[in-house]
Amino acid sequence: MDPHHALALPHPRPGITPDNRFFWDGLRQRELRIQRCAACHRLQHPPAPMCSGCHGFEMESIVASGRGTIHSFVIAEHPAIPPFSYPNLIVLVDLEEGTRLVSRLVDVAPEVVAIGMAVVVDYERIDDELTLHCFRSLETAGG
Ligand SMILES: [Zn+2]
């Protein structure tokens, strides 16, 4: 048996449902899709069956620009859980469209990350089925 096999942990999988499948399908196509209520046009994330504003059930989606700013962050250092890399910068991003999502900040040193930092989405392909979103500093991503 390959001695490295036992170390190759599978990446954790998201729980995909009929309500959030569009989001994960979008990431595979390098699109950040955000759920929008067809009735009142409220954006919400994570996707849910019902609009939290007007309680409508007819939901659609928009493709976000991927630009935003860091609303808050936490730097996870210990315990280091494979397959994630550490320190792991977990950020709450205010998208310019007006909703928030939790993601990961990459290629930014922990001492540089700051609330208000301008960021832009990027995509991390895990395998054929799963692509994740992450964010980069808008400055180092080239504007
Ligand atoms: Zn609504």
Domain extent listing, the chain? 17-63, 65-143
Q: Which CA distances in Å does 71 have to 9, 23, 48?
A: 32, 22, 22
Could you say which architecture CATH assigns to the domain 65-143? Beta Barrel (2.40)
Residue 134 contacts residue 123 (beta carbons within 8 Å): yes
In the predicted model, what is the mean pLDDT of residues 129-136?
96
Give the distance (Å) from ligand 1 centre to CA of residue 55.
Answer: 6
In the predicted model, what is the mean pLDDT of residues 115-142?
94
**Mean residue pLDDT across the chain:** 92
- Provide DSSP, 35-96: EEETTT--EESS--SS-TTT----EEEEE---EEEEEEEEEE-SS--TTS-SSEEEEEEEET
The predicted structure's pLDDT at residue 112 = 94
The predicted structure's pLDDT at residue 1 = 42
Give the distance (Å) from ligand 1 centre to CA of residue 62.
Answer: 14
Q: Look up residue 98 and give its two tokens.
A: 């007006």
Give the distance (Å) from ligand 1 centre to CA of residue 44.
Answer: 9
The rounded distance, in Å, linking the Cα atoms of 141 and 16 is 30
The predicted structure's pLDDT at residue 43 = 97
Encode pLDDT of 66-112 as tens digits.
Answer: 999 999 999 998 888 888 888 899 999 999 999 999 999 999 999 99
Torsions phi, psi of 14, nearest 5? -75, 155
Does the pLDDT value for residue 12 go beyond 90?
no
Q: Which residues 6+ apart lie within 8 Å of 74 measured at CB?
A: 90
The predicted structure's pLDDT at residue 3 = 45
What percent of the chain stands above pLDDT 70?
93
The residue type of 37 is: C
